[in-house]
Amino acid sequence: MELVDDRKRFQCVLCKKRTKPNDRRKCESIEIRKFLRKTFMVDARPVDVLCNKCRHYYYKNKQVKQKPPIHAKTYTEPQGNSSCLSPPSVTLPLQRTVSSHAYCFICKRPGPKLIVVPVSARPSAFIHKEVIIPSGSRCCPSHIANDDFIAGALDNLQTIETSFLNRSTIVDLITRIRNYAIQNCTSKFTFDPSYLNNLDYITLTGISKDQDPFADLHQEIKSEIRYTPSRTSTMSLGIFLLKMRSGMSNQLMSTIFGISKSSIRRAISTVRTALMKKFVPQNVVLQHISRQDVTANHTRPLAQSLFGNVTQSQAIAVLDGTYIFIQKSNNFQFQRRTYNMHKGRPLVKPMVVVSTDGYFLTVVGPYLADSRNNDAAILNHMLKSNIEDIKNWFQDEDIFIVDRGFRDALGVLEEFGIKAYMPHLLAKGEKQMPTPDANASRLVTKIRWVVEAANSRIKRWKYLAHTLPTNQVPFIGDYVRIVCAISNKYLPPLSTGNADDDEALANKMQYLSKRVNSLKIFVEENALDKRSSSWEVSSDSLNFPKLDEEELRNLTCGVYQLRLCPSYIQEYIEGDADILVHKEHPGLIRVKLQSRHISSKKYMLWIQYTESAVTAWYCKCRGGARVVGVCSHIASVVWYLGFARHNVGDVSATGIQNWGEYVKDAAVIDASDTDDSDIEE
């Protein structure tokens, strides 16, 4: 009776599937029963039945001679909807999703716009959520990003409590878990977004993961990077950015990531090549952006008001060369050509061209560093060689803001119809610029600082700030262009300004640039720099006007001078200098400040004021005669008298640490340190 009940169910002895009358055959053949016992370890009886699908495994094995058993095959992940290599025969207490091609297994949304779950996403779901996703399952494209499920996609998943798997699927799952362990568990950390927060990404790679800049950059190069068991494309990109950001050696990175030094080197080379192929030409080459876009979106209104013409659209560019230091070469000719007399070490020079908001228009070079490759010679080469079609991109009446190193290229720029603005040179034998030259130079430096900040942004990628080995010289240009392209696309502008505020500041600076320094004339006519009897030490109740931070910025026309004020004032307070008041003119003070560069030099300055404002100033430093803003020496005294002593409290405790007390001075010999044996008896 028990045998009859078992036969009535008509289940396949191998796959346990209930069979239809036309889809069943008894296991009467001895060869079939031997095949089932040997291959699947199933003891079948003559009355047991096989379904049509399982019976074909026997016929297929019978036709192919000397074929290894199915369980000994190396399993390859089936593509698309291919059938598995062995029938489901193992039941495991693991949750699995429902397999369907008609609707998304996550949100149950019907097709037709569904995609097959990527092969790499299925093991990831099992590792993190302990859910098995059958091969060929489909979901909405919005649930997948970078060949993996997005965060939270599998949180509310409907699953079945048991899984009926074939042996090939189990072997494949174990293999992929092992590869995952090799990639992630061996290394100390991974660049998986689920393991690192946004601050970690900025610290390690220089770009954030919020708003997906890292994912976007990865998408640009993913197709160009080969997947290996030791590193994924995401890890390769992270290794490259970490190398650029930190400048660590390949050996140290090999220890951190748990992969070989050669693998680190290949990852860096592969990512560099991939970025240069597509990402860099779209973000930093001169032709990647139009003149109209530069003038409309990357030109600060202050620069246009100071140097441009409101009746026509002019492109304003700021140029400067930067230094990338290299090791001394065994090729003596190359060693001589790369030795820079100014820096006293070998280097190469990329030429950087930026807009007035710090956007990198292009990077040319790198060039050699000898006397024949100064900034002017490099600019002449760029124009005469028409690099990146620069002569057609820039047009007549466009403007270049340059420094004094380009003075020999001004004639060439004039030939091409480009206006050039440069800080004035100090006349031979003179110690101070005249007021008109100092004022004009201040207008230029107000705009030109952005290229210095852009060069500093390049050197924040510490690999480019280090001394590079000579075998990296062929790739220095690539590295500089890559970090500039990343800065253009993912980092904020260096200089921004409100149109109304910039226009007001430009009008003020242009008005002041046409004025003379009346206090300088008064000091020289009355010889106030020579008469000491006319001055007396000021009291603590000096009636100097009280100023706020906005009034200080209006006085200096910038913030750089204000940043130096605490350092100047700390040295002034610790020194023996005094603030002197003129006996006949109470609203006039004189101060002598120590130079921050030269120990033997001190600068004398005069400040004229009323009860409510500072009206005039003059300093004997190189640019101290200007009236467009003030020099750092005058700014320090004004900051101390008008702001710091009223708001900071103890001005001597400004946070400027004197580290000299931890270092010995060979010029000072303490009597207590004298050896008694050196004293004559």
> Can you say whether residue 275 is alpha, beta or left, with left for phi > 0 and alpha for psi between -120 and 50 degrees?
alpha
DSSP 48: -
Q: Which residue has the higher pLDDT, 626 or 575?
A: 626
CA angle 45, 51, 56 (to 5 degrees): 100
Query: What does the DSSP 8-state code read for residue 369?
Result: -
Q: Which residue has the higher pLDDT, 532 or 453?
A: 453
Of the chain, the percentage scoring pLDDT greater than 90 comes to: 14
Asked whether the beta carbons of 661 and 655 are under 8 A apart, the reply is: no
Judged by average pLDDT, the poorest of 302-316, 399-413, 600-614, 646-660 is: 646-660
- pLDDT, residue 569, reads 79
Per-residue confidence at 354, pLDDT binned at 50, 70, 90? very high
Q: What angle do CA 175, 223, 103 make, to 5 degrees?
A: 65
In 277-415, DSSP assigns E strands to: 316-321, 324-325, 339-340, 345-355, 360-367, 399-401
- Residue 236 and residue 265 in contact, taking contact as beta carbons nearer than 8 Å: no
Q: Report how far residue 87's alpha carbon sits from residue 287's, in angstroms, rounded to the nearest whole number.
A: 59
**Radius of gyration of the CA atoms of the chain, in A:** 38
* Top-ranked range on mean pLDDT: pick from 100-109, 452-461, 548-557, 666-675: 452-461
Q: List, in sequence order, the alpha helices (H) in 460-544.
A: 462-465, 476-490, 499-513, 518-525
- Check the CA dihedral 644-650-651-654 and report its sign: negative
Give dist(CA 632, CA 445) in Å, integer: 14
Closest CA to 617 of 638, 592, 642, 641: 638
Nearest to 396 by CA among 295, 312, 505: 312
Euclidean distance between CA atoms 454 and 353, whole angstroms: 9
Work out the percent of the chain whose per-residue pLDDT is above 70: 86
Using CB atoms within 10 Å of the CB of residue 95, give its burial: 0 to 12 exposed, 13 to 18 middle, 19+ buried.
middle
pLDDT at 474: 93
Lowest mean per-residue pLDDT among 49-58, 166-175, 438-447, 644-653: 644-653
d(CA 461, CA 528): 50
Q: Which of 14-23, 117-126, 357-366 has the highest mean pLDDT?
A: 357-366
pLDDT digits (tens, 9 = 90+) for 52-61: 888 887 777 7
pLDDT at 82 over 50: no
Beta strands in 562-601 (DSSP E): 580-582, 588-594
Read off the pLDDT of residues 404-446 as tens digits, 9 standing for 90 and up: 888 888 888 888 888 999 998 888 888 888 888 888 888 898 8
Place 319 in a pLDDT band, splitting at 50, 70 and 90: very high
- Enumerate the H helices of 330-460 as residue ranges: 332-338, 375-384, 390-393, 410-415, 435-459
Q: What was the pLDDT predicted at 75?
A: 33
Q: Which of 308-322, 374-388, 525-539 has the least mean pLDDT?
A: 525-539
State residue 128's pLDDT score.
75
The pLDDT value given to residue 556: 86
513 falls in which pLDDT band (50, 70, 90)? confident
How high is the pLDDT of residue 1? 39
Quote the pLDDT of residue 674: 58
- And the tokens for 103? 């609707």
For the ranges 136-145, 146-155, 479-488, 508-517, the maximum mean pLDDT occurs at 479-488
How open is the CA angle 85-90-96, to the nearest 5 degrees? 90
Q: How far apart are CA 110 and CA 681, in angstroms?
A: 106
CB-CB contact of 144 with 115 (8 Å) = yes
pLDDT at 8 over 70: no
Residue 618 near residue 606 (C-beta atoms within 8 A): yes
Tell me the sheet residues that pair with 348.
Answer: 324
Q: pLDDT tens, 256-304? A: 887 888 989 998 999 999 999 888 998 888 888 888 888 888 888 888 8
119-147 average pLDDT score: 79
Q: Residue 36, Cβ neighbours under 10 Å: how many? A: 21
**pLDDT score for 195:** 65
Alpha-carbon gap, residue 636 to 519, rounded angstroms: 18
Q: Are 137 and 103 in contact (CB under 8 A)?
A: no
Nearest Cα to 569, choosing from 507, 487, 651? 651
Judge residue 144's burial from the number of C-beta atoms within 10 Å of its C-beta, 0-12 exposed, 13-18 middle, 19 or more buried.
middle
pLDDT, average across residues 182-200: 64
Query: Over 80: is that where the pLDDT of 191 sits?
Result: no
Rounded Cα gap, residues 94 and 85, in angstroms: 21
Q: pTM of the entire structure?
A: 0.69
Is the dihedral angle over the CA atoms 542, 548, 549, 552 positive or is it negative? Answer: negative
CA distances from 399 to 72, 127, 201, 295 (A): 74, 59, 38, 11
> Burial of 215 by CB count in 10 Å (0-12 exposed, 13-18 middle, 19+ buried)?
middle
The residues near 22 (Cβ < 8 Å, ≥ 6 apart) are none
Q: What is the average pLDDT across 147-160? A: 78
**How many CA atoms lie within 13 Å of 274's alpha carbon, on the beta-carbon side?**
20
Architecture of domain 286-500: 2-Layer Sandwich (3.30)
Q: Could you state, in order of their start, the residue ranges of all structural domains in the chain? A: 2-72, 90-180, 186-279, 286-500, 516-661
Q: Per residue in 201-248, pLDDT tens?
A: 778 887 776 667 887 888 888 888 877 777 788 888 888 988 999 889
Contact (Cβ atoms closer than 8 angstroms) between residue 390 and residue 367: no
Higher pLDDT, 179 or 469: 469
pLDDT band at 347 (very low <50, low <70, confident <90, very high): very high
